[in-house]
Amino acid sequence: MIDVAIVGAGAAGVAAGRRLADAGLAVRLLEARPRIGGRAFTAVHSPGALDLGCGWLHSADENPWTAIAEGQGRAIDRTLPPWARRAVTAGFPAPDQQAFREASDALSERVAAAAAEHGPDCAVADLLEPGGRWNGLLGAVSTWVSGAEPERVSARDLAAYRDTGVNWRTPDGYGAVIATHGRGLDVALGCRVSRIDHSGAVIRLETPRGAVEARRVIVTVPSALIADEAIAFTPALPRKVEAARGLPLGLADKLFLTLDHADEFAADSRVFGHTDRVATGAYHIRPFGRPLIEAYFGGELADALEREGEGAFAAHAVAELKGVFGAAFARRLSPLDIHPWRADPYARGSYSYAAPGRAGDRAVLAEPVDGRLFFAGEACSERDYSTAHGAYRTGIAAAEAILAA
């Protein structure tokens, strides 16, 4: 029997496992995937490491993964992210960019004011300017930030998100940082947990390799798996399942394209496929100065493209980029890599948002059960949700609660 079993070896599981192992406890991580990292996934290609999952060290000046990456000897790129710069003006003149930024700032102020009133929660869409010129692009930004359209996102939850505005990267890949942090831990890969029986004095976890017994357990799987009851609990935990259903996973998929004659563009520039609709992509041109375009699709558009198949992402991206730069631009593009996160059976989406009226479900999802069963992961974070550092902090919090007990 082990002291602590951790279900999932993503950012939260690795953080908790490292803290508990360093404290001398017998810890085992049970990971369904054949790799460590969860929704942090770095793929290596000839242009460099590509983060197919999380890629930005958000709130990097206080993000614990920043110091961990530096401790691993990795470079940190501190240049401004593309969304903090003026976009490429093709199809989006500078005066329009300024008008859009003002509309975005005004929406953020309305969201904050609505949350501060402590009245009933509402959807972010309810706070859009009726008939506003930029509502389409503001909706597109919601699909990239929350993984869902503003009609589906809680204004109160969005207002609670904490961001210092500092966003850095590592050229080696965020996923590589998290995977490296898990090296040396006792991790059983390809070991999916199907049931957690916490009815007796010892908690029993059922896996394809047989049962694992532990004194305490930390569950770090995405909220979608709890909502879908992919893991059965004995006794059942209906309150957890209902909380997870209030915190669905939005969807944001990245497609990397190679770009010939890339030096025409400034490094880390950006263009939108369209500026008048929600269903459009954002295109990060020459990330790290590499001859690539990182295409970003979210919400219902990403869901639709996943249903059509991976080739649909490239077709959509090429069509939008041809509309911006001309038909000949298509000859300069080739698809390189993508990971469809909704289709991933161990993720079922990208990161959590709260449905209107369900912001309080984050605290419910994070509550321990009987002082023996703990929950962690980005969906459990009330202020840092949707991020790897939010996952890290909830993993550490669960580990500290076990150590205190």
Mean pLDDT of 286-304: 98
Amino acid 307: pLDDT: 98
For the stretch 216-247, pLDDT in tens is 999 999 999 999 999 999 999 999 999 999 99
User: Using CA atoms, how far apart are residues 320 and 283, in angstroms rounded to an integer?
Assistant: 10
**What residues are paired with 373 via a beta bridge?**
217, 369
Q: What is the mean pLDDT of residues 105-134?
A: 96
Q: How much is the CA Rg of the chain, to the nearest whole Å?
A: 21
CB contact at 8 A, 40 and 53: yes
Residue spans of the domains in the chain: they are: 2-77+169-248+351-404, 82-160+252-338
Report the percentage of the chain scoring pLDDT > 70: 100
- The pLDDT mean for the chain works out to 97
- pTM exceeds 0.75, yes or no: yes
What was the pLDDT predicted at 28?
98
Q: For residue 275, how many other CB atoms are within 10 A of its CB?
A: 19
Alpha carbon distance 106, 108 (integer Å): 5
| Helices of type H across 228-326 | 238-245, 299-308, 310-325
| Residues 6+ positions from 212 with CB-CB distance below 8 Å | 2, 5, 28, 30, 204, 205
Structure tokens of 297?
């699709």
Q: Rounded CA gap, 95 and 59, in Å?
A: 29
Give the other-Cβ count within 10 Å of 78's Cβ.
12
- The C-alpha atoms of residue 143 and residue 249 are separated, in whole angstroms, by 12
pLDDT in tens, 344-368: 999 999 999 999 999 999 999 999 9
Q: For residue range 74-111, what is the model confidence (pLDDT) as tens digits? A: 999 999 999 998 888 888 999 999 999 999 999 999 99
DSSP string, 72-121: TT---B-SPPGGGSPPP-TTS-HHHHHHHHHHHHHHHHHHHHHHHTTS--
Map residue 43 onto helix, strand or coil: strand
CA atoms within 13 A on the CB side of 114: 23
Superfamily, domain 2-77+169-248+351-404: FAD/NAD(P)-binding domain (3.50.50.60)
Spatial distance between the Cα atoms of 245 and 386, rounded to a whole number of angstroms: 16
Strands 269-272 and 210-219: unpaired
Q: Does 331 have pLDDT greater than 90?
A: yes
Residue 257 has what pLDDT? 98
Q: What is the CATH number of domain 82-160+252-338?
A: 3.90.660.10
Helix %, strand %, coil % of the chain (to 5):
40, 20, 40
Section 124-145 average pLDDT: 98
CA nearest to 295, candidates 260, 334, 241, 349: 334
